[in-house]
Amino acid sequence: MTENQPASLAISAALRADILAGVIEPGARLRQDELASRFGTSRIPVREALRQLEAEALVINDVHRGARVAPLTLDETLERMEIRVALECAALKLAVPAMSELDFEMLETILAEYDLAEEPAQWTACNWAFHTALYAPCNRPTLLALIQANITNADRFLRLRLSQTTGKERPQIEHREILAACRAGDAARAAALLEGHIARARKSLATAMRLSRPAR
């Protein structure tokens, strides 16, 4: 690891957090000199950090315009939710046979924290924590990385909006149904429940965004 790598990792982590939280808005320019000044580094680790975020599809690097935060539309988000079904159902089918009591206890703990969470931002964090823990036992690093990348991108649009749209009561019921199927070792039922869970969230988001548009 070079001396620039720790700095680039810290910079990419900070920028990623700002992008996902909406602090840096879609389309915003990311000027290397300004970022170097902000983080107190040379432009080299900044450049490396931007390359990492570009690999995660959070940043677009245009030869003529420089780096900017990648835009994300409702249509793209809805498409990514369709991709979630394919990737996450595949991971869950592989994960269920490998799940142990420790996995079930961790998932129960996350759902208990979800029950106590009061803010939509907390619901979103608990939701992703549950889904991440659900798929971890599949032990397929490449598949899990694809799922994480897809979630990371969609999360820019979904954060708060989906939680505010669906609330937490119905998703929690569905989470517990999925967990019960996992405990029973029924991978096919768990995957079917997961597919319905994601599909309903997608429909809720599409409906909410359509109704929120001003009438013409």
Strand boundaries in the chain, DSSP class E: 59-62, 66-69
Give the N- to C-terminal CA distance of the chain in Å, as an integer: 56
| 12 vs 181: CA distance, rounded Å | 38
Domain, as residue range, for 117 = 74-212
pLDDT of residue 148: 87
pTM of the entire structure? 0.73
* Same domain as 35, residue 91: no
CA dihedral over 146, 151, 157, 162, signed as positive or negative: positive
Domain boundary among 40, 69, 98: 69
* Same domain as 106, residue 63: no
pLDDT of residue 72: 73
3-state helix, strand, coil in the chain (%, to 5): 75, 5, 20
* Same domain as 110, residue 63: no
* Same domain as 193, residue 113: yes
DSSP label at 66? E
> What length does the chain have?
216
The domain that holds 64 is classified in CATH as 1.10.10.10
* Same domain as 122, residue 95: yes
Mean per-residue pLDDT pooled into runs of 10, the chain (216 residues): 70 88 84 94 93 87 85 81 94 98 97 89 85 96 91 66 66 96 98 95 77 54
3-state class (DSSP) for residue 156: helix
Cβ atoms of residues 182 and 104 within 8 Å: yes
CA 37-69-202 angle, to 5 degrees, is 145
Domain boundary among 17, 39, 69: 69
Q: Give the chain's domain count.
A: 2
Closest among 60, 82, 53 to 152, alpha carbons compared? 53
pLDDT of residue 70: 85
| 123 vs 182: CA distance, rounded Å | 22
pLDDT of residue 1: 37
Strand boundaries in 48-110, DSSP class E: 59-62, 66-69
